[in-house]
Structure formats: structure tokens, C-alpha cells
């Protein structure tokens, strides 16, 4: 017999999946709490047990998509590769991940429209900035580039990757092909600023 926690987790997952599907099928404006609950066969009580609003549900979906794309990209990178190569490869694979039409719509359209740009940026930064900073510290320690200010370099790379993702939506392969070269050029340029 499933525990209360298992049933609660399953209900939360069902809510997220139902809202995600509705957002992708009919868009943000046409996705109503009532229609999603009816389609999922759930009550308002089930929703409000887990989330205080539709916006909070979308924020959870956005966070899952954002962190999921990063995790999937990291999972495709050889952990034994040199740090700079891991960084470049993880960024290239992430650009491929966010080209998926559903992921792209949630990360670049639906999420920011529903939760606001500042909240979307905060969620993105929860994981990506710390990851970039850790990777840059490894590059600084193990070479081949000295990274004098990993936190600032991480912010710069994070912003650059966001811009490349937006370009990648329209120009597909060009942004991905350039990502590794751009990352290395930026880091070498920062190295010379010391």
C-alpha cells in the first residue's frame, strides 16, 4: 500500500504534468486552473495542498525544465575530460537541450511571461551560476587558462549562454558550433585583463 507521502508526490507530479501539457497545448492565457483540474480529475484542494496559485505551479514547471536541461547536458559530458573541454561540451549540449520545442517554449516564453523575468533569472541562476563558477575554478586550478575572478566570469558566461540559446532558436547549428570557441575566447580575454 502506497504511503501518504507517495500519494502526495504522485498528485503533485500529476498536477505539474497536466499544467505543463495544457500550457504547451493551449498557451498561458487559455490554461485555466479549472480546466486543468477537470482534465486531471483532481480537486482544488489537491492543487492548493501543493501550490498557492497557478503562477506557483508554472514556477515549479519552469524550475524543473531549467534544472532538467542542465542535468541532461551534464549527463552527456565525459567527467574525465579536462575542465575546459567539459565546460565547452556541457554548454554545447545544453544549447541542443533547450532547442527542444517544449523546453524552449517553457524556458523562453511561457515561464518568463507567467513568473516574470526576475524570477526566471533567479531560478536559472540557482543552478547555472554555481555550476559555472565551480567549472571555472577547476579550469583555473587545472589549466589551461587562469580565471582571476570566477564569480564575474561565471556571470558573463551565464549571460552569454542565455543569448546563444535565444540565437540558437532561430539559427540552430551556428550558435552551437560557435559556443565552444566563444567560451574559450572570452576566458582567454579575461585572462589577459589581470
Q: So what's the pLDDT on residue 116?
A: 96
Place of cell 492565457: 29
Contacts of 156 (CB under 8 A, 6+ apart): 186, 190
Domain match, 120 and 142 both:
yes
Domain match, 175 and 85 both:
yes
Quick: pLDDT tens for 102-140.
Answer: 999 999 999 999 999 999 999 988 889 999 999 999 999
Contacts of 122 (CB under 8 A, 6+ apart): none
| Average pLDDT value for the chain | 90
For the domain that residue 10 is a member of, what is the CATH number? 1.10.10.60
For the domain that residue 147 is a member of, what is the CATH number? 1.10.357.10
> What's the average model confidence in pLDDT over 26-51?
93
Identify the domain containing residue 32 by its residue range: 1-51
Domain match, 98 and 159 both:
yes
Number of domain units in the chain = 2
Domain match, 39 and 117 both:
no
Domain match, 19 and 103 both:
no
Last residue of a domain, one of 17, 33, 51: 51
Contacts of 11 (CB under 8 A, 6+ apart): 42, 46, 49, 50
Domain match, 143 and 172 both:
yes
Three-state secondary structure call for residue 148 = coil
Say if residue 34's pLDDT is above 70. Answer: yes
Quick: pLDDT tens for 68-96.
Answer: 999 999 999 999 999 999 999 999 999 99
Domain match, 96 and 12 both:
no
List the grid coordinates of 188: 582567454
Domain match, 71 and 39 both:
no
**Rounded-to-integer distance, Cα 99 and Cα 113, Å:** 19
The pTM of this model reads 0.89
Check: CB of residue 83 under 8 Å from CB of residue 131.
Answer: no
Q: So what's the pLDDT on residue 174?
A: 64
For residue 5, give Cα distances in angstroms to 9, 46, 55, 147, 148. 6, 13, 24, 45, 47
Domain match, 108 and 45 both:
no
Q: So what's the pLDDT on residue 154?
A: 94
Q: So what's the pLDDT on residue 127?
A: 87
> What's the average model confidence in pLDDT over 142-162?
90
Domain match, 44 and 74 both:
no
Domain match, 73 and 40 both:
no
Domain match, 67 and 145 both:
yes
Q: What angle do CA 35, 36, 40 make, to 5 degrees?
A: 120
pLDDT band at 12 (very low <50, low <70, confident <90, very high): very high
Say if residue 42's pLDDT is above 80. Answer: yes
List the grid coordinates of 133: 563558477
Q: So what's the pLDDT on residue 191?
A: 78
Say if residue 50's pLDDT is above 80. Answer: yes
**Rounded-to-integer distance, Cα 161 and Cα 175, Å:** 10
**DSSP summary character for residue 2:** -
Amino acid at each position: 500500500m502506497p504511503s501518504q507521502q507517495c500519494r502526495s508526490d504522485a498528485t503533485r507530479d500529476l498536477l505539474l504534468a497536466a499544467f505543463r501539457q495544457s500550457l504547451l497545448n493551449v498557451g498561458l492565457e487559455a490554461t485555466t486552473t479549472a480546466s486543468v483540474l477537470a482534465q486531471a480529475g483532481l480537486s482544488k484542494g489537491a492543487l492548493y495542498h501543493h501550490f498557492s496559485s497557478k503562477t506557483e505551479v508554472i514556477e515549479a514547471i519552469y524550475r524543473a525544465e531549467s534544472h532538467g536541461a542542465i542535468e541532461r547536458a551534464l549527463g552527456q559530458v565525459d567527467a574525465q575530460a579536462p575542465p575546459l573541454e567539459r565546460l565547452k561540451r556541457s554548454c554545447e549540449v545544453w544549447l541542443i537541450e533547450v532547442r527542444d520545442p517544449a523546453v524552449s517554449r517553457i524556458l523562453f516564453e511561457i515561464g518568463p511571461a507567467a513568473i516574470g523575468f526576475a524570477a526566471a533569472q533567479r531560478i536559472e541562476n540557482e543552478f547555472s551560476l554555481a555550476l559555472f563558477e565551480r567549472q571555472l575554478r577547476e579550469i583555473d586550478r587545472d589549466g589551461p587558462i587562469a580565471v582571476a575572478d570566477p564569480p564575474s566570469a561565471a556571470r558573463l558566461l551565464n549571460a552569454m549562454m542565455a543569448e546563444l540559446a535565444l540565437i540558437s532558436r532561430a539559427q540552430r547549428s551556428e550558435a552551437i558550433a560557435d559556443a565552444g570557441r566563444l567560451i574559450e575566447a572570452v576566458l582567454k580575454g579575461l585572462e589577459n585583463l589581470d
